[in-house]
Structure 1
Amino acid sequence: MPHSTITGIGHYVPKNIVTNQDLTEVMETSDAWIRERTGIEERRYIDRTKETTTTLAVEASLKAIADAGIDKQDIDFIIFATLSPDYYFPGSGVLLQRELGISGTEIAALDIRAQCSGFIYGLSTADQFIKSGMYKKILLVGAEVHSVGLDFSTRGRNVSVIFGDGAGAVIIEPTEDKDVAVLSTKMHSDGTYAEKLSYMYPGAHGGYFLEKYAMEGFGVDYDLENNKYGGVFWNQDMLDKARVFPHMEGQAVFKMAVRKFPEVIMETLTDAGLGIEDLDMLIPHQANLRINQFVANTMGLRDDQVYNNIMRYGNTTAASIPLALSEARDEGKIKKGDLVTLASFGAGFTWAAAVLRWGK
């Protein structure tokens, strides 16, 4: 059975830099307030008339394809992880196929909605497809555009200051060399507290889950007598009451993340027959610098064993790990043969990790 390995990597971020100071123009906040709570100094936003989640993915993909030294027509499977697709449907995978100019190949395109854990879920999926022999050259992408869907007001600042736009991509191919391969992946989820980090409207729930789980203030009053059909997925009430923005209970997310991050990292290392002492580089999901620092301290890792770039890009959810991995490679922070662990935690809740020997 072959192993899987990353043979190419690339990332792309929009050119528009938005600093913490810039955000003070539209909400009551400050550079110090944002840095203290998140570690973020700036983030990137798209040009809203010229860029989309898919166009960011195209730029990152082309870099990964070139880095792998393959022809784009050789790609035989696309995996696209995002929580911010261009359309509600179809998914962004087929749009990426089209924009890359490889539609004629008629290869499959799979969209993954595991939020911040999407890239590692995709990596684990690609790993199994490579091991099975079904595919030989997989394009795995994580791309996000948050800037078009945030509440840029004081009301929404706890969420809006955190997120940014970006993309990262890798090419995954088979190898017989275990010294440059993916060694283990683990994925988990627990939907018990799904609404604590969520984007609930528009949606087909019709308020059912929100009423069932006592989400006070999030229900919708429907005039079903005069609106027998429709109006539950989307209506004016959602706009009037600002329910079309992300919802996050930060403390609940923080407490769960700092517990599950170390657990899944150690689970994955143990599965690979390794320990924390073998680790060269941890690349965690870039949700909050304080979470990453807490996890690093808990696990006894040095600063040079953990790569963070949230300061420059904010939280780019499914894009954050491939973006950070690509930058770490470009900066010489990881080299061939290094033991690298990727770890994520996000909405769902979902969490995952992967251990690999770096081969580029």
Structure 2
Amino acid sequence: MFSAKIGGIGSYVPEWEVTNNDLEKVMDTSDEWIQERTGIQSRRYGKKHKETSTTMGARAAEIAIDRAGIDKEDIDFIIFATLSPDYYFPGCGVLLQREMGITNKEVGALDIRNQCSGFIYALSVGDQFIKTGMYQNILVVGAEMHSMGLDFSTRGRNVSVIFGDGAGAVVLQRSTREGQGILTTHLHADGTYAEKLALINPGAHGGYHAEKMGEDTDFGYPDTKYGEMFVNKKMIDDAMVYPQMEGQFVFKLAVQKFPEVIGEALEKTGLKTSDIDMFVPHQANLRISQFVQRRLGLKDEQVWNNIQKYGNTTAASIPIALCEAWEAGAVKDGDLVCLAAFGSGFTWGSALIRW
């Protein structure tokens, strides 16, 4: 059985570069504080009212399609991963289809909501479709427009300094060579501590946190009408419409799960860490990537990090970094590429690819 290969890859990041020094002007922070904790020096923000997760995803997709040597009309399925969709619903998959003008074939569009692990999950789903022969050219996109939903105040600095905007895309096709393409993918999740990293409000639960739900407390809002439970002034005033994160908890779990899921992939394929030519981790935090690198015994030239200049672009981070590595010649034909991610949910996963 032949696996899916990456036939084309593309990425897009907005022009507007926001440095740590720029953030110092709107919140109590510093370049030293941000770099020490995250390794980030700058990030990109999209143009307000002009760019969205969909439009950025489309730009990356156009490049990937061109590099795959096909036309957009050849795409027969779309998978879109994001945690920052243009709308609450419908998802970005159909919006991307419209943006790119490929609605004439009425191809299916699937939205993946696995946050930082979204691209790995999307790759795995696409791989299964290619293996069964159901689709021939699957467009997989990871895109994020974080800047539209961050708390740019000292209150929100622990989260807001981390994230940036951007998009990456690949075209999955059937490999023509045995042993080429996606060798294995491994997906995991544990929702026990979901609220440790989450955007809880607004939501259908109608209150601040899941634990406050219930008839006895009226969802935490006495005398609040049902329509007002989704979003109201108190939620906004209390800054509960922004992402919430317990950083230390996330860090400790991430450095545990990253090596585990990579080891799982290597064991499945009978390969060793030393066989990895390029490791592209989700760009969550440079300190996490460096910790995992040391645990795996990888050299600097075996790991690709670009969080320093783009921040954490969540579902877009792996395809952006992979595209950048490929464009730089760091990923070559026949190389063994390892991808891994960990994020909100919590979800995590890995993929081994023979380029």
State the TM-score, normalizing by the size of structure 1.
0.95
Kindly report structure 1 stretches of 4+ aligned residues shifted beyond 6 Å.
Answer: none
Q: Indicate if the aligned counterparts of 2:334 and 2:354 stay in contact, CA closer than 8 A.
A: yes
CA-CA distance at 1:243 after TM superposition = 0.6
Greater alpha carbon shift after TM alignment, 266-275 vs 148-157: 266-275
1:319 equivalent among 287, 304, 316: 316
Look up the SS of the partner of 2:148 in the other structure: coil
Deviations along 1:148-183, whole A, 9 cap, x unmatched? 100000110000000000000000001241342110
CA-CA distance at 1:212 after TM superposition = 5.8
Q: Indicate if the aligned counterparts of 2:212 and 2:219 stay in contact, CA closer than 8 A.
A: no
Deviations along 1:313-352, whole A, 9 cap, x unmatched? 0000000000000000001111000000000000000000
Q: CA RMSD in A?
A: 1.3
Deviations along 1:24-80, whole A, 9 cap, x unmatched? 000001001000000000000001021111000010000000000101000000000
Find the counterpart in structure 2 of residue 293 from structure 1.
290
State the TM-score, normalizing by the size of structure 2.
0.97
AA partner of residue 155 (structure 2): R
1:271 equivalent among 268, 281, 284: 268
Find the counterpart in structure 1 of residue 138 from structure 2.
138
1:256 equivalent among 235, 241, 253: 253
CA-CA distance at 1:237 after TM superposition = 1.0
AA partner of residue 280 (structure 1): D
Look up the SS of the partner of 2:248 in the other structure: helix
Find the counterpart in structure 1 of residue 110 from structure 2.
110
CA-CA distance at 1:275 after TM superposition = 1.3
Q: Indicate if the aligned counterparts of 1:220 and 1:238 stay in contact, CA closer than 8 A.
A: no
Output the CA distance in 1 between the equivalents of 2:342 and 2:296: 16
AA partner of residue 201 (structure 2): Y
Structural mapping, 1:94-109, within 5 Å? 94-109=94-109
Output the CA distance in 1 between the equivalents of 2:338 and 2:280: 6
Output the CA distance in 2 between the equivalents of 1:165 and 1:44: 6
1:305 equivalent among 284, 302, 306: 302
Q: Aligned pair count? A: 351
Output the CA distance in 2 between the equivalents of 1:166 and 1:249: 24
Return 5+ residue gaps in structure 2 as ranges: none
Look up the SS of the partner of 2:260 in the other structure: helix
Output the CA distance in 1 between the equivalents of 2:106 and 2:81: 19
Output the CA distance in 2 between the equivalents of 1:172 and 1:66: 13
Find the counterpart in structure 2 of residue 332 from structure 1.
329
Structural mapping, 1:182-197, within 5 Å? 182-197=182-197
CA-CA distance at 1:209 after TM superposition = 5.0
AA partner of residue 356 (structure 1): I
Structural mapping, 1:340-355, within 5 Å? 340-355=337-352
Q: Indicate if the aligned counterparts of 1:3 and 1:177 stay in contact, CA closer than 8 A.
A: no
AA partner of residue 51 (structure 1): E
Return 5+ residue gaps in structure 1 as ranges: 214-218
Find the counterpart in structure 1 of residue 353 from structure 2.
356
Find the counterpart in structure 1 of residue 25 from structure 2.
25
